[in-house]
Amino acid sequence: MNKSIAEGRRLQILGSSQEESYQLDLLSFVSDYALADFSPKEKLRRTSITKKNITNSSLNFFHGNVDKNKLFSNYCLGNSNQFAVEAVKRFIVNDKSDYHIIYLKAQSGLGKSHILNAVANELILNKKGFYFSSPFMMSLLVYDFNAIKFYEFVLIDDIEEIEGNTEMLKMFCQLIDYAQSGKLKLIITGSKLPKDLSNCDDRFKGKLSAALIHNIFEMKNELSYDIVDLKCSELKINLPKNVKDLVSNQLDFNVYGLESLLHKFKNVIEINDQQISLAMAIKEINEKVSFNFQDEIPKFLKNIAIHFQVSFDDLVSNRRKQEFALARHVAMYILKERDGLTFSSISKLFNKDHSSVIYAVNKIKKQLINDMKMRGKVQMLLSNERLFN
């Protein structure tokens, strides 16, 4: 039997809404026929995984790294986001709905991940099973797709990570079809509209475009001030109102940029034991803005590209070829560790989501622990001032 046909039958068989006992009876069929192209050992492993998920399907269970501090109660609402948040709240409360997929579109740093974490915390409180992940982490489950089907909600952050991944595109088409049948609810976030995703076939983009799409727009001054005020309370720093006004007017910053600046203020207050004046705030903001947009950054990236013998276009592209990705990850690591750029600032330079930058930086950190060759190369780059001038 053709392997792709067998895989499709396996998903179709276990995707039904029949009773648990009948599903368990089907496992023998799955093992003998739908998994015919696999070895006996592999068939046993896969049917065991499925059986375990079926027998636990009546329980409330959760999957994902949920930030307990991100709640709807501490998410600042304004004209740019309140409609999207209200739609999501109703979506997770109402058992019946005319739609089964919500897609939240927003640029990095405008609160998409906060909303998903708030949803997850709400679902935990109401004992509803959910699967919370990013496409990158879900790639491990491509061949265990049935396990996902027993959750009531699937929450996916940063859908653009799926771009160019053929296997993941196939799985997501199946997941969307399953959600549209009313058997689970999907909440997906991305920085692009579905139709604008790159290296994704029209079939996938068409299916995802059928979701209820809500935009989260750029912050306006009033919302920005509310966020600054809330973050000051969370960080326990007391800033004069004129400083808060100044910070909240920096609309080139997103939430991460505002947080980064406030953390710097907190650091100055604690180390120098002095309050932040308007003049000090202006100085910090000028340094931050000039650094984020200075000409030296593209020049540095061009030097990194030359060092790794790749083109500048490949370095800043979405191409996943190993040599391009390695050069890109090292560049991100250096910008973070040497120059202290925020993840948000680096994500703008590479047109990536901040979570992709976090992954890249952490990957290089781990590699430097055991890979002496890589450690020597990165140390050499860090000490080579010509790269930065």
DSSP code, position 35: T
Do 171 and 139 share a domain, yes or no? yes
pTM recorded for the entire structure: 0.54
pLDDT bucket at 369, cuts 50 / 70 / 90:
confident
Domain end (from 40, 55, 70) = 55
Do 334 and 368 share a domain, yes or no? yes
pLDDT bucket at 89, cuts 50 / 70 / 90:
very high
Which percentage of the chain shows pLDDT scores above 70? Answer: 75
Do 197 and 261 share a domain, yes or no? no
Which one is predicted more confidently, 58 or 379? 379
Do 306 and 380 share a domain, yes or no? yes
Do 18 and 100 share a domain, yes or no? no
Do 285 and 231 share a domain, yes or no? yes
Q: Is the pLDDT of residue 220 over 90?
A: no
Do 232 and 207 share a domain, yes or no? no
Do 108 and 201 share a domain, yes or no? yes
Strand partners, 102: 187, 212
Cα separation, 378 vs 376, in Å, equals 6
Do 83 and 190 share a domain, yes or no? yes
pLDDT digits (tens, 9 = 90+) for 96-153: 778 899 999 988 778 888 999 999 999 999 888 888 888 877 655 555 667 777 789 9
Which percentage of the chain shows pLDDT scores above 90? Answer: 15
Cα separation, 174 vs 184, in Å, equals 12
Helix ranges (H only) for 293-342 are 296-307, 312-315, 322-337
Domain end (from 235, 261, 292) = 292
Number of H helices, E strands in the chain: 18, 6
How deeply is 47 buried, as exposed, middle or buried, from its count of CB atoms within 10 A (0-12, 13-18, 19+)? buried
Identify which of 361, 318, 354 has the alpha carbon closest to the alpha carbon of residue 108.
354
Which one is predicted more confidently, 202 or 343? 202
DSSP code, position 250: -
For residue 79, give its domain range: 62-215
Residue 77 is part of a domain; what is its CATH number?
3.40.50.300
Do 85 and 203 share a domain, yes or no? yes
Strand runs (DSSP E) across the chain, as ranges?
Answer: 62-63, 101-105, 130-133, 153-156, 185-190, 212-215
Do 202 and 74 share a domain, yes or no? yes
Which one is predicted more confidently, 266 or 25? 266
When divided into structural domains, the chain yields a total of 4
In degrees and rounded to multiples of 5, residue 95 shows phi and psi of -70, -35
Domain end (from 190, 215, 240) = 215
Task: Count Cβ neighbours within 10 Å for each residue of 240-264 and write b for 16 or more, e otherwise.
Answer: eeebbbbbbebeebbbbbbbbbbeb
3-state SS assignment for residue 106? coil
